Amino acid sequence: MSDTPLRQPAFVLVRPQMGENIGAAARAMWNFGLDRMRLVAPRDGWPNPRAVALASGAGRLLDEAGHFPTTVEAVEGCTFVLATTARGRGLTKPILSPEEAMAQARDHAQAGGKVAVLFGPERAGLENDDIARANAIISVPVNPEFASLNLAQCVLLTAYEWRRQTAEIDHARVELAGGDWATALETDKLAEHYEDRLAQAGFFFPPQKAEHMKTNLRNLWSRMPLTRADVQILHGMMRQMVRWKERGD
């Protein structure tokens, strides 16, 4: 894989109406490492102080955002354009899920292409003239009885899918709080400790089932993701219970 950074898609906000939504969109983009914003004819003009207030740390995106009078000019030079809309608008277009759309966007970018994603104004979304200039439509599988997404929500969802397609993602992990995982030997010693004490207490009964019970117990320990601190606590618990029993006798 090339060490050259992958070219990001440009997120094009077409005729956005509220500065607050532009700022929230910038924040959503920067949450996922995207910083190429383009604005097409914002209703309230540009720059917009309300956008800055909502950007919350992502103001640089607003400072560097491209400002264009038309969608055609905003996507000039782009080789793969996607339009976000909940409706096909009667146009014959490939309709992609956000995941598939960003996978194709990644492939185009890796091949040296320039990608743009169009987001429509808050009230009615993109017009047919905008959608007609796109290569494909992104359709989010939302509740059909309430399909409208806030502009910033749609930006965030698309940016998240781009991140998933282009970054190393830890799908599951455990944060160790200053400790280490227990070794197999440490777990084995813990099992021996419990077996010895449980045997003294008469737990392994009847005798003919003792070995099977011990095997199940060891299997239980091996399934538990124990840290060294956990092992020490479990040893201490057993020692204390034995001491308490001996004092009671």
pLDDT higher than threshold 60 for residue 2 = no
CA distances from 187 to 37, 149, 176, 201, 242 (A): 54, 51, 17, 21, 20
- 214 vs 179 pLDDT, higher one: 214
pTM, entire model: 0.78
The strand order across the sheet containing 136-138 reads 66-68, 37-40, 10-14, 115-119, 80-84, 136-138, 95-96
Using only C-alpha atoms, the chain has a radius of gyration, in whole angstroms, of 29
Q: What is the dihedral of CA 166, 171, 177, 178, to 10 degrees?
A: -50
- Tell me: the pLDDT tens digits for 56-96? 899 999 999 999 999 999 999 999 999 998 765 678 899 99
- How far apart are alpha carbons 222 and 218 in whole angstroms? 6
- The confidence score (pLDDT) of residue 3 equals 58
Mean pLDDT of the chain: 92
Alpha helices in 81-182 (DSSP H): 98-110, 128-131, 151-166
Residue 146 phi, psi (nearest 5): -155, 75
Confidence of residue 243 (pLDDT cuts 50, 70, 90): confident
CATH 3.40.190.10 applies to domain 10-166: no
Structural domain spans, the chain: 10-166, 184-248
- The confidence score (pLDDT) of residue 1 equals 44
- Tell me: the pLDDT tens digits for 109-162? 999 999 999 999 988 889 999 999 999 999 998 888 887 889 999 999 999 999
